[in-house]
Structure formats: C-alpha cells, structure tokens
Structure 1
Amino acid sequence: METEQAPAPRRVAEKTGAFLTVLTERPVSLYAAAVLRIGYGFLYLVFLLREFPHRDEIWGPGSPWTPELARQLFGQTGWLSILTLSDSRPYFETCYALAVVTSALFMLGWRTRAVSVLFAVVVASFHARAIFMTDGGDNLILLMALYLVFTACGRHWSLDARRTRLHGSTEKTARSSAGPAADGLRHQLGSSRRTLTAVLHNCGMFVIAAQVCFLYGSAGLYKVQGASWGNGTALHYVLNLDLFRPWPELSLMVDEHDVLIAVACYLTVLLQVAFPFVLFGRFKYPVLTMLFGMHLGIAVLMGLPLFSGAMIIADAVFLPDRFYRSLGRLWPRASRRPDAWKKVAPPSGEPALVPSQSAPSIH
C-alpha cells in the first residue's frame, strides 16, 4: 500500500507543472477565439449597417437622449464615449464611418492587436452613448469586445495569419543574417513575448467561458424563482407581448400548442441551470445544440436577433479546436468534390488540373 500511495504527491506536482506549462507556453482555443472575433465583428458590422438610417435618432446629435444628457449620466456612472466629444454632425458621421470600418477590419483580422482595442472603444462608446435605446444584446457584445483585447484572436482565419505565412520565410532569412548576440537577445525577447501572450490569451478565454456560464446559470436560477416558469406558462405571456411580436400570426400559431409551450419552459430552465455542469462531458454537445435552437427561436419569435446572435457566438467558445480544424478540412474537400467526379485525363504534355489531395495547412 505504501508503494502505491508514494507517487501521489509526484502526480500532483506533475499535473501542476503541466497546467503551468499550458498556461504560460501554449495558447488554448485559438480557433474558438478566431470564431469569436469573426462572429462579433460581423454581428456589430451588420448592426451598424442595419441602424444606419436611424443612426441620428439613436446616437447622433438629433437623438432624444441628447449628448448633454449623456454627459450628465457619465458624471454619475463614470462611462466615456468618443461620440460626446463634439456635438457637430460631421464629427458624428466621421465616427460612425470609422466604427463601420473598424468592425470590418476586426472581423477580417487586420492588425488584430491594435484593431481589437479600437473595436472595444467603438463598442463601449456606442453602448454608453445610447444606453437606454438598445435591446440588451449589445451588453454581451461589449463584454466580449473587452475580453477579446487580451486574446490572440488573430492567429487563425485572419489577414494577419495570411501575412505571417507569406512573410515567414523572409523573417527566417533576416534572422540568419544577424549576429549571434542580436540573435540571442531576439530569442529572449521573443520567448518573453510568447509567454505574456499565452498567459493573457488563456486568462481571457477562461474569463469568456466563465462569463457565459455565469449568464446561463444566473438566468436559470432567476427563472426558477418565478411562478410562471414553474407552471410552464412563461412563454405564453411572452408570445402575447406586443413589444416582442414581430410576426403576430406566427406567435399566435405557436401559442396554440399548450403542451409544447410548457415543455419548452421546463427545458429552457433545465438547460440554463445544468449548462455549467455539463461542459466537461459529452452532454455538452446536445446541450449546445438545443441552446442553438432556443436562441434561433428567440431571434425569430421575439425579434431579438442581436441578442440571439451574441449568445450563439459566445457558445462557440466551448467547442474544441479539433472541431474547427475538421470544418476547415471539410470546406476544401467540398469545393473539390464536383471536380473529382470528372475523371478526364489531361492531354499529353500538360499538367493535371486536379489539385493536390494532401490535407490543407491550417494556420
């Protein structure tokens, strides 16, 4: 028995060392971070373009919530917004155009480190300027924009990754031509930079995952306290609110199925309460699928696409990188599949037009 119990402290030390190694040397969930960057950049870009005809009433000088009222509120809450630095219309139009460009560049992953900071400033400024005039979906986008500043969300599926692949050989040639002293200093600085990047990225992804768990858990526990969720009638009342009925006929048609309404109520509470406890097992995949369907229903029936889109994108943080790598491999295969059916031999002396069947490199 003594010989079996002796290695226990050693195993604890090995696991602790492995955890610290991962924390400081290997950024995790890089593909998930890329999905978050693309998703939130695209979502906010669509949001700004969708509200372009109403931009003056929501954020501009002609808004009922005037810049002076916003500045008075900032004195109490401590918020700041670049939109309130000037009341002129040309300044506002310039800020709006820059916000659209920043969202597009963040989605594409161009100079992601700097653009992620600008994107967070844009989201925070627009959120603070009209804090009483949006639907709440931008609250989560604001949090995620701040968290993504600390992540390496431009490592994959970005213009930065493409530029790194194209200029990788040039950098290697420049390093080989440098002297040994300069090469050693560069190696030390690069090692320190990689460690700092890995720690910030891993902590940022952990905070994002914890934020989503807290949202679902608190929402489920809050629903448990309500009598309407306990007796399965909460969704009936929601479907009959004029404020959340973009298609009244569809809402009335869904409301006719009392049993399905009650089942949906109980399933919603169960999924939200159980979500933080199923993340480390196989049950998380059906739970994420059902949550995806729930958010689609909220977007269609309640007319809250911004909120639903923000939650669906946030759920992507719990999918492993191997899932996204498999998607990256399936796309080229699908695009080549029609050509594979045409088994036509190329003329003699000409190279074959069929692309190489080797697995594509994902960076």
Structure 2
Amino acid sequence: MANRRETLFGIDLRSLAAFRIGIGALLLTDLGMRATDLTAHYTDDGIVPRSLLDDRLRDSWRWSWHMLNGSAAFQSALFLVAAFAAAALMVGFRTRFATVVSWLLLVSLHARNPFIVNAGDVLLRVVLFWSIFLPLGAVWSIDHRYRPQAIPKNPTTSVASAAILLQVACMYWMTAYFKWHGIWLTPDGFRRVVELDSYAKPFAYQLLNFPDLLPWMGCGVLSLEICGPILAFSPFATKPIRLLVFVCFCLLHIGIELSLTVGLFSIISILAWILFIPDVFWNRCNAKWPQHLPPTTTPTTTDRQRWIASTVNGFVLLIAIYVPIWNFATVRGSWLNRYQQTLSPFVELTGLRQKWNMFVAPPSSDGWYVAVARLKDGQTVDLLRDGAPADWKSFEKPVYAYRRFPNHRWRKFYRQLSQRHSDSTFPYICRFLGGRWNATHPESQWAKSVELHFMEPVESEAGEVPDSFMQQVLHEELFEPPASSFEQDSTP
C-alpha cells in the first residue's frame, strides 16, 4: 500500500529540482517582460492607477504591497526583490524562504493589475503556493551542496505532493467540464478558437485550410484534457503511462503555443507536468550521464518538530480539500455556486482563486481598438500603430490582430476592455497614450486630443465570421496644455 501511494502521489526529487529550476527561470523571464511596461501597468502614471483599484480591493480580500506607492522607483524596488528571490529559487539558495517571498510578491503583483492576468499567471501562482510545502532544494541546489542537511526519502510523498499533482489534474478536468457545456461539441467549436482575432497566429490560420480535420482536433484536445490526467493516476503501469501522458501534453502545449498567443500558459503547463516524470526517466539519464544522487537520511526529530509537521500537513490537507470545492463553486448552476462569495475570502487572500474556463465560448470575432490623436500641426495619427496616419487602414480589420500589441499583456488588457467596456479605464488609457507621445515628440507635433475607438463586430448568424463592424467612440481626452511628463515605455 505504501509503495502504491508513493507511485501515485510521490514526486521524484530530481523532477522536483527540474521543476524548481524551470519555475525560477520563468519567474525571472516574466519579471523582465513586465518590467518593460512597468510605468504603463504598475504606476499611477499608467493605464491602471491605484485610484482605479481602490474600490475593487476594498470590497475583497485581495491585497497588494504594490499598492502602497504608485511611483516607478517603488515598483522597481519590488521588482528587484522579486528578481533576487526568483534567482535564489532557481539555484536553490535558501529555497523555502525564496519560494515564500516569490509567492507573496507574485500574489501582490497580480492584485496590482488584475486586467493583465491570464490563466498562465494563475497556474504559476497556485503551483508556487503548493511548492512552499515541498522539498524543492533537496537536490541540485546550493542548499544541499553548501548547507548539508537531511535528504528526504525519494520519491517525496506527502499531502503537499498529492495536492500539487491533483491541482494540475484539476485544471484540465475543470476546463474540460466548461468546454463540454460550451461550443466545443459543435462542428464549428474548435474553428472558432483558432480563428479568434486577438489570439490567432499565422499557424492557426493555416489550420483553417483543413476544415474537415478541425472537429477531430477539437475532440482530441477535449479527450486528452479529460483522460490524460486520469491516466496519470493509473494504478497499473503508472510510470510508463505517465511518461506517455507527459509527452502528449508537451505536444499539446507546443501546438497551442504555435497557434495562439497565450502568454505563460504553455510554458508553465509543461513545467507542471515535469512533476509527473517518474524515476525511470532520471535513472535512464543517469546511465548515460552519470551523476551523484545523495543517499536519503532519516533525521532525528523532536516532539515539537513532529507536532509542527503534523500541524502543517493538516493545514495543507484542509486547503487541498478547499480548492476543488472552490473550483466546483465557479460552475454556474452548481449547488456550490451560491456559496461562491462565502468561499472567496480564503482563495483571494492566498492567491488560490482560480477558474479554468479558457476558450469555452469564444466569439467569432472580438474587434480591435484605434487611438486617434489630433496633433498641433494638423496631422491625425493612430497611437496604437506607432503613430501611423489615422486613415482607413487604422479602421480596417488587421490580418493578424495580435501583432497590434507588443506583448500578450497588452493584448490581454485590451481584450478585457472589449469584454467589459470599463468606462472608468478609458480616460487613463487616452492620457497615457497622449502623454507618452508628447514626451517623445517636439512641441509642434504634440497631441491636442486623443480619441479611443472600438471596432465592434456586428452580430451575424451563429458560427459565422462577421464581415461588418460598428465603430464606437469610447472616450476623447483633451490635452490643454499638452501633457509631457510621461516616461517612454513600450508601445501598446
């Protein structure tokens, strides 16, 4: 029984170390990408000043250290601390402390600007939480090399190891459940996903040349999301099946990354599946590239240490039960849905809030934005196209809409706007775009006004791509005198 439990819910220490290195590198990469838009996304001079979020945070249990100050210097300091913590996590230096700091700062960062948080960010945040309770630094780490300590049994089996594996499985089961009750079972379901304007890459449009294949691809994705995690916990031939499932999900997420712009989602998903890699893989690698795996030791523990360990395990077990309850509460129409507001404080406080309804019911087209600036010299330019003339091309549907944004966070932000049309956000967008333009151009070319337009698709027959769009003027901001105090930032 103990061996079976280890096989199903244990994690090889080498898989855990590879996961730790990948997570640390991903955190550093994420911070570097976010830093290019630090002024725009995280300061009071950007598109989401703190005043815009006051009510949102006041009415919830979300918290954010990044809300303490709206200056670029303060945000840069927090980014620097997060980068040091991520680097320490990657190399395994004071690993548990680095994990806790990374998790706290990530929860804080996401709460500072929730408009640009996507499913990949959420998955990174929740697996980082579970990682706090795992021996990430047991092998392949500075902690082990220079701070000798007891090596836990390999594989490590605990409530936390079971929780993080089930968390990964839960994500796929929940997204499959949402898709099962969405459009994915219709013949055009998968087609509507791959042709979604703000996500689709050139490879996705190539897939549209095979219309007879698309329904089968959609069926394959849904089947893998349901059956893959189940097979990963197969009581028979667990290790070879897990290797096969790992390869299948890697191929799935590589395909998603080639087809759609989804931010960190594909990378963090593959990293999460590394936890399922069994010892047979590492043993085979060790046969080709010999490496020393330290022997496990059983440390001497006091009654107090055993009491603390039991308390922590009990706490983790309660959370492990709470998370699937919360996931079912996110399903509209379920009997738990009525208790969602009651359940939300804990998941907001810990950053475990999650809803895996990605691409459940995508529209046939999601529109695009145009920011028309009228300059002092009489020109009109589109600030979302690097100052190109604001002519008919600005209002024409772009061939690849995702290329209108410098990165996936800007795409996520504007897509959130198209879904919610948050009127309170529009003035800040116009002020930021106009202020940044004026800060980088001579006074004769300063913007006198900025208009934010949205090209909304006109409703058509179900499943059909609209061939006409309605132009809406969302907001006009006047610059008298023109603003010029904005720092240059990356172009949205």
Q: TM-score, normalised by structure 2?
A: 0.54
Deviations 1:295-338 (A, max 9, x none): 111112111140111111111121113323433553x4xxxxxx
Contiguous gaps of at least 5 residues in structure 2: 295-492
Taking the TM superposition and a 5 Å limit, the aligned residue runs for 1:253-272 are: 253-272=206-225
Report if the CA contact (8 A) 1:32-1:319 is conserved.
Answer: yes
Deviations 1:161-190 (A, max 9, x none): 2224xx68xxxxxxxxxxxxxxxxxxxxx8
Q: Distance in 2 between matches of 1:287 and 1:232?
A: 26
Q: Distance in 2 between matches of 1:49 and 1:98?
A: 13
Instruction: Provide the residue aligned with 1:276 in structure 2.
Output: 229
Is 1:222 paired with 2:175? Answer: no
Instruction: Provide the residue aligned with 1:67 in structure 2.
Output: 50
CA deviation after TM superposition for structure 1 residue 71, in Å:
3.8
Deviations 1:3-60 (A, max 9, x none): xxxxxxxxxxxx47x789x79xx97432222222112211121111123221221223
Is 1:123 paired with 2:54? Answer: no
Of 11, 21, 30, the match for 2:13: 30
Output the amino acid matched with 2:194: L
Instruction: Provide the residue aligned with 1:176 in structure 2.
Output: none
Contiguous gaps of at least 5 residues in structure 1: 1-14, 169-189, 333-358
Is 1:243 paired with 2:198? Answer: yes
SS state at 1:41 partner: helix
Of 140, 143, 146, the match for 1:157: 140
Taking the TM superposition and a 5 Å limit, the aligned residue runs for 1:1-363 are: 15=1, 28-164=11-147, 202-226=158-182, 228-245=183-200, 247=201, 249-279=202-232, 280=234, 281=238, 282-330=240-288, 332=289, 359-363=290-294
Report if the CA contact (8 A) 1:33-1:205 is conserved.
Answer: no
Distance 1:284 1:139, change over 3 A: same
Distance 1:232 1:110, change over 3 A: farther
Distance 1:139 1:307, change over 3 A: same
Report if the CA contact (8 A) 1:137-1:306 is conserved.
Answer: yes
CA deviation after TM superposition for structure 1 residue 266, in Å:
0.7
CA deviation after TM superposition for structure 1 residue 88, in Å:
2.9
Higher relative contact order (CA 8 A, sep 6+): 1
Output the amino acid matched with 1:154: G
CA deviation after TM superposition for structure 1 residue 112, in Å:
0.3
Report if the CA contact (8 A) 2:10-2:162 is conserved.
Answer: no
Distance 1:327 1:60, change over 3 A: farther
Output the amino acid matched with 2:169: C
Q: Distance in 1 between matches of 2:260 and 2:4?
A: 43
Calculate percent identity across the aligned residue pairs: 21
Distance 1:72 1:268, change over 3 A: same
Output the amino acid matched with 2:216: V
Q: Distance in 1 between matches of 2:11 and 2:259?
A: 36
Q: TM-score, normalised by structure 1?
A: 0.72
Q: Distance in 2 between matches of 1:128 and 1:94?
A: 17
